[in-house]
Amino acid sequence: QNGVRDSLAPEEFDRYSRQMIVPGMGKDSQLRLLNSHVLIIGAGGLGCPAAQYITGAGVGTIGIVDGDVVETSNLHRQVGHATSRVGMLKVESLITHLRALNPLPNYVAYPFPISPENAAEVIRGYDLVLDCTDNPATRYLISDICVLLCKPLVSAASVQKSGQLIVLNCPPAPQGLVDNKYAPCYRCCFRKPPPAGSMVSCGEAGIMGPVVGTMGVMQAGEAIKILASGLHLPGSEGGNLREPTLLIYTYELENTIGPFSFRALKMGGRKKNCFACGENSTLTLEGIKGGDPNYEQFCSLPSAKHTL
Amino acid sequence: QNGVRDSLAPEEFDRYSRQMIVPGMGKDSQLRLLNSHVLIIGAGGLGCPAAQYITGAGVGTIGIVDGDVVETSNLHRQVGHATSRVGMLKVESLITHLRALNPLPNYVAYPFPISPENAAEVIRGYDLVLDCTDNPATRYLISDICVLLCKPLVSAASVQKSGQLIVLNCPPAPQGLVDNKYAPCYRCCFRKPPPAGSMVSCGEAGIMGPVVGTMGVMQAGEAIKILASGLHLPGSEGGNLREPTLLIYTYELENTIGPFSFRALKMGGRKKNCFACGENSTLTLEGIKGGDPNYEQFCSLPSAKHTL
Amino acid sequence: MGDTTASTPTMTAEVEMIPITVDFSGGLEMLFSNQRRHSLEIPATDKDGKPCNIASLIGYLCENTMKDPRRELFVLDDHIRPGILVLINDADWELEGEEAYEIQRGDNILFVSTLHGG
Amino acid sequence: MGDTTASTPTMTAEVEMIPITVDFSGGLEMLFSNQRRHSLEIPATDKDGKPCNIASLIGYLCENTMKDPRRELFVLDDHIRPGILVLINDADWELEGEEAYEIQRGDNILFVSTLHGG
Ligand SMILES: [Zn+2]
Ligand SMILES: [Zn+2]
């Protein structure tokens, strides 16, 4: 919408000063944030805290996608909503809160679920995507679109007392370019979804607020450093792959923080035979929009049969 | 004020259901949270996110101590405040936000800084304390009072791109009882403060929002599990010490999440010769109130001479 | 358990045992007595005399360690079920040879259930 | 650097070198070329022939690794300055003998500045 910003207003200097004086940040990084467009898919337990810190940091345009309305049972963990906004669309409720925190960013509401039909259109205008959704079909869809549109993706998930975080597709590389120096996509790391019945949503299995909250804040942290430092921009040799790492957080109710609370797991780079980004991939935006692949079928639908 | 709760209202079942169905939680844990009194000292970058999740989880009485007013430069990280509340006392601003999130808890505002004169009086009525303050003199003071009043303490700190978290005094044991099975206090782990000039506050050195935010949410996480599971209650042999762990978070602007982002460091138990909890300690509540020890002198005052 | 000589029907007294740790995370610990870490001594070779690899470890865990009857939440058609990551010394098993990786003394094998909630 | 024979004035060619990693955190990395991890080979014994301990490592780091002139932010009166924790293989050095701990091949020594902000 508005052109590229190359200077800060006095109000922005004031608001972002404590972040701008951190070594490695500075005015250039702040301008990169102001000129960035970040899409947060999901305004729930991950999306609320992630959005608070994305907003606080001064990202210029913030899009939020969610088709649900606020329920009372969300409020123990979805801290960007409020009791008086129960029944309101989550995107409207969260943007109300974010605007009160920081009126300067440009907020864009997408009050519907992300779907194969709309995903490319919604994601296209953004520099980076946060996957804050709650089901595998959507997670594979978002990653596939991010591969095809060359967008970095910060993905987190949380159920009960566990959390996971991984930075994918960063820096992004065109589909089919395979070589270990390129970053993996969601499918490179999680080739097949669990069978139906072996997984449950937070609504069915429960979730501890601070677990999903920690993962959401950390998602914002990864997004901010990627944009502020340009980590999503290809390096001079085209690659610039960092160590792909899956961070897992285990919250034990019967123990205080300990040696195994966090573990950093080493993942591989882009896979030659990846269905989405690999060398023989036939995945296209047109195909996805037309129903190929069938994400619901690939993932089946979660059932509450088992509590795991 | 009101008596011990032994049942949940329908509204509470609804609001806390997603947390109550987590294995290990349940109605008894929820009732323990409802009957708990938690004191959050500091309504800034740690206190805001910590308070959101303490509030969401349904802790019955939440006290907040802070003498400052909201400034615009706080808002990139202090996500419980709002632009329209700049100039308001932080405790009032944060409680406004928390009440909107959850009207059920009992909120108590302490709109002044914690001090040797008032600390014991403020802390006495609570079951657990979160240290969300920003200077060493206050950190030593809070720990000393927690030792003398037998309160578990969840302590976090963050500057620039680093964060630290430790659970202290949990379960608490009377001063002078020494044996490795008892939990350390702040002084057991951090015997001497850094010399004046070698440390700086977030205002002087800067702070990345998601770093302090992550630590704050995790503080709430530790508090909730301590209270829900009764980890602060002495075990059958009187001890019940868990592995005292200092968690450190290193946020590298030039790297995505990696193998060294979190490290769990093994700390010792209570120290025989600890100034506060050790066997020959002469620390008393009366002494502290009367100015002995002199915390400001012990820690000197931070200066902006060096940026470390 | 180290140098036991009492042989079981399928195991001769001379089978060398290797100490390893096996961890479960992401909710899988619920299938294994709610215990995050299991310190085990496993036979260095299987009944055909081949060195123990991840495939045989999975069988061993099902027979000896898993008390929960819901096996289908851990294995499917004799392989680890989709949606579970296997980490060998904190690295994705795809970097180490997957099921064929031969287990070494002191290895840490981690099974993590992939999460999708938010 | 391993089996170098070019001797420096203070070091004979026969001094055994031990590989260790030294990490800095909590802001201390800024004093050490903004580098979180340093892989070093240090002499196994000091100039008096005593095994290298944490005290001598601190001297070694000041002389060889620290480029920043603000030594007082790392040492005070020849000891580590108050407000810095020393961790030996991720355990508080007080559990290991503090300055007198004799450094072993492959050790990881971490120096962390205590934080107070919030
Ligand atoms: Zn891929
Ligand atoms: Zn002590």
Residue-by-residue DSSP string for A75-107: TTT-TTS-GGGTTSBHHHHHHHHHHHH-SSSEE
> What is the distance in A from the centroid of ligand 1 to the CA of A236?
22
Where residue B302 falls among pLDDT bands split at 50, 70, 90? very low
Task: Read off the pLDDT of each residue in A179-194 and give the average, rounded to a whole number.
Answer: 90
Q: Does B207 touch chain D (CB under 8 A)?
A: yes
With residue B94 as reference, give the H or E element that holds it: helix B90-101
Task: Read off the pLDDT of each residue in B17-44 and give the average, rounded to a whole number.
Answer: 97
> What is the distance in A from the centroid of ligand 2 to the CA of B146?
10
- Among the partner-chain residues D76, D90, D118, the one whose CB lies closest to the CB of B266 is D90
Task: Read off the pLDDT of each residue in A54-79 and give the average, rounded to a whole number.
Answer: 98
- A100 contacts on B by Cβ (under 8 Å): 82-84
Q: Is the pLDDT of residue B190 over 70?
A: yes
* Subunit contact B252:D36, Cβ cutoff 8 A: yes
With residue C20 as reference, give the H or E element that holds it: strand C17-25
pLDDT at C48: 85
- Token look-up 């740690």 returns B46
Task: Read off the pLDDT of each residue in A18-46 and give the average, rounded to a whole number.
Answer: 97
Nearest chain B residue to A14 by CA distance is B73
The one-letter amino acid code at D90 reads D
Across the B/D interface, how many CB contacts are shorter than 8 Å? 118
Task: Tell me the shortest Cα–Cα distance from C21 to chain A, in angstroms.
Answer: 13
Q: Supply φ then ψ for residue C77, to 5 degrees.
A: 55, 45
* Subunit contact B206:A16, Cβ cutoff 8 A: no
DSSP three-state, residue D78: coil
Where residue A234 falls among pLDDT bands split at 50, 70, 90? confident
Q: Which ligand is nearest to the CA of B272?
A: 2
Tell me, yes or no, whether chains B and A touch by having 3 or more C-beta pairs under 8 A.
yes
pLDDT at B256: 95
What is the ipTM for the molecules in this complex?
0.92
Task: Read off the pLDDT of each residue in A150-170 and give the average, rounded to a whole number.
Answer: 97
pLDDT at B196: 78
Nearest chain B residue to D86 by CA distance is B265
Check if the beta carbon of residue A114 is closer than 8 Å to that of residue A122: yes
pLDDT tens-digit readout, A253-302 = 999 999 999 999 999 999 999 999 999 999 999 999 999 999 999 987 54
Please tell me the least confidently modeled range out of A137-146, D1-10, D15-24.
D1-10
Tell me, yes or no, whether chains A and C touch by having 3 or more C-beta pairs under 8 A.
yes
Q: Is the pLDDT of residue A2 over 60?
A: no
Task: Read off the pLDDT of each residue in C29-37 and give the average, rounded to a whole number.
Answer: 92
Task: Tell me the shortest Cα–Cα distance from B84 to chain A, in angstroms.
Answer: 7
- Among the partner-chain residues A247, A254, A307, the one whose CB lies closest to the CB of B257 is A247
- Token look-up 């800084």 returns B113
Nearest chain D residue to B219 by CA distance is D118
- Token look-up 């205080």 returns A256
> What is the distance in A from the centroid of ligand 2 to the CA of B266?
16
Where residue A224 falls among pLDDT bands split at 50, 70, 90? very high
The whole-angstrom separation of Cα A95 and Cα A110 is: 11
Task: Read off the pLDDT of each residue in A153-157 and give the average, rounded to a whole number.
Answer: 98
State the Cα angle at A230 between A283 and B210, rounded to 5°: 100
Q: Is the pLDDT of residue B180 over 90?
A: no
Q: Is the pLDDT of residue B199 over 70?
A: no
- Token look-up 């260095």 returns C44
Q: Does B158 touch chain D (CB under 8 A)?
A: yes
Q: At what angle do helices B209-229 and A209-229 cross, to 10 degrees?
A: 170
- Among the partner-chain residues C31, C81, C90, the one whose CB lies closest to the CB of A263 is C90
pLDDT at B181: 81
Task: Tell me the shortest Cα–Cα distance from A60 to chain C, in angstroms.
Answer: 25
pLDDT at C2: 40
Q: Supply φ then ψ for residue A19, to 5 degrees.
A: -90, -35
Residue B201 burial (C-beta neighbours within 10 Å; 0-12, 13-18, 19+): middle
The whole-angstrom separation of Cα B96 and Cα B74 is: 17
Mean residue pLDDT of chain C comes to 88
- B207 contacts on D by Cβ (under 8 Å): 117
* Subunit contact B162:D30, Cβ cutoff 8 A: no
- B142 contacts on D by Cβ (under 8 Å): none
Percent of chain C whose predicted confidence (pLDDT) is above 90? 75
Q: Is the pLDDT of residue C63 over 70?
A: yes
> What is the distance in A from the centroid of ligand 2 to the CA of B276?
5
Q: Is the pLDDT of residue B301 over 60?
A: no
pLDDT at C3: 43
Please tell me the least confidently modeled range out of A54-68, A225-239, C72-86.
A225-239
Where residue B179 falls among pLDDT bands split at 50, 70, 90? confident
> What is the distance in A from the centroid of ligand 1 to the CA of C25?
24
Q: Which ligand is nearest to the CA of A140?
A: 1
The residue among A249, B166, A260 whose CA lies nearest residue D92 is B166
Q: Is the pLDDT of residue D1 over 90?
A: no
Locate the DSSP E strands across D1-118: 17-25, 37-43, 75-76, 79-80, 84-88, 91-92, 108-113
pLDDT at B235: 67
Query: How many CB atoms neighbour CB A285 within 10 A?
Result: 16
Mean residue pLDDT of chain A comes to 93
- Among the partner-chain residues C37, C85, C118, the one whose CB lies closest to the CB of A133 is C118
Q: Is the pLDDT of residue C118 over 70?
A: yes
* Subunit contact D25:B252, Cβ cutoff 8 A: no
* Subunit contact A264:B261, Cβ cutoff 8 A: yes
* Subunit contact C94:A268, Cβ cutoff 8 A: yes
The one-letter amino acid code at C116 reads H
pLDDT tens-digit readout, B233-269 = 876 554 456 789 999 999 999 999 999 999 999 999 9
> What is the distance in A from the centroid of ligand 2 to the CA of B279?
10
pLDDT tens-digit readout, B144-167 = 999 999 999 999 999 999 999 999
* Subunit contact A248:C113, Cβ cutoff 8 A: no
Task: Read off the pLDDT of each residue in B5-9 and give the average, rounded to a whole number.
Answer: 95
The residue among A173, A63, A69 whose CA lies nearest residue A118 is A63
The residue among A200, A206, A201 whose CA lies nearest residue A160 is A206
pLDDT at A44: 98
The whole-angstrom separation of Cα A144 and Cα A281 is: 11
Q: Is the pLDDT of residue D39 over 60?
A: yes
Output helix, strand, coil percentages for chain A, rounded to the nearest 5.
35, 15, 50
The residue among B119, B114, B113, B178 whose CA lies nearest residue B151 is B119
Percent of chain A whose predicted confidence (pLDDT) is above 70? 92
Where residue B194 falls among pLDDT bands split at 50, 70, 90? confident
- A160 contacts on B by Cβ (under 8 Å): 22-23
Interface probe with A: pick from B12, B72, B79, most Cβ of A within 10 Å: B79
Instruction: Name all chains with 3 or more CB-CB pairs below 8 Å to chain A.
Output: B, C
The whole-angstrom separation of Cα B302 and Cα B306 is: 10
With residue C24 as reference, give the H or E element that holds it: strand C17-25
Mean residue pLDDT of chain B comes to 93
Buried b (16+ CB within 10 A) or exposed e, A7-16: ebeeebeebb
pLDDT tens-digit readout, A73-128 = 999 999 999 999 999 999 999 999 999 999 999 999 999 999 999 999 999 999 99
* Subunit contact D83:B198, Cβ cutoff 8 A: yes
Residue B172 burial (C-beta neighbours within 10 Å; 0-12, 13-18, 19+): buried
With residue B13 as reference, give the H or E element that holds it: helix B10-20
Q: Strand pairing of C17-25 and C108-113? A: parallel
Q: Which ligand is nearest to the CA of B268?
A: 2
- Among the partner-chain residues A164, A195, A260, the one whose CB lies closest to the CB of C115 is A164
* Subunit contact A254:B231, Cβ cutoff 8 A: yes
Q: Does A231 touch chain C (CB under 8 A)?
A: no
Nearest chain A residue to C117 by CA distance is A134
Q: Strand pairing of B153-159 and B128-131? A: parallel
Q: In DSSP terms, which residues pair with D20 in a beta bridge? A: D40
pLDDT at B11: 96
* Subunit contact A57:B209, Cβ cutoff 8 A: yes
Provide the 8-state DSSP code for A160.
Answer: B
Task: Read off the pLDDT of each residue in D20-41 and give the average, rounded to a whole number.
Answer: 94
pLDDT at C5: 44
Task: Tell me the shortest Cα–Cα distance from A184 to chain B, in angstroms.
Answer: 13
Where residue B304 falls among pLDDT bands split at 50, 70, 90? very low
Task: Read off the pLDDT of each residue in A179-207 and give the average, rounded to a whole number.
Answer: 84
User: 3-state secondary structure string, D11-29?
Assistant: CCCCCCEEEEEEEEECCHH
Sign of CA dihedral B99, B103, B105, B106: positive
Nearest chain A residue to C23 by CA distance is A260
* Subunit contact C82:A195, Cβ cutoff 8 A: yes
Check if the beta carbon of residue D57 is closer than 8 Å to that of residue D86: no
> What is the distance in A from the centroid of ligand 1 to the CA of C94?
14
pLDDT tens-digit readout, B42-91 = 999 999 999 999 999 999 999 999 999 999 999 999 999 999 999 999 99
Q: Supply φ then ψ for residue C23, to 5 degrees.
A: -115, 150
Q: Supply φ then ψ for residue B98, to 5 degrees.
A: -65, -40
Q: Is the pLDDT of residue B277 over 70?
A: yes
Nearest chain B residue to D90 by CA distance is B265
pLDDT at B236: 54
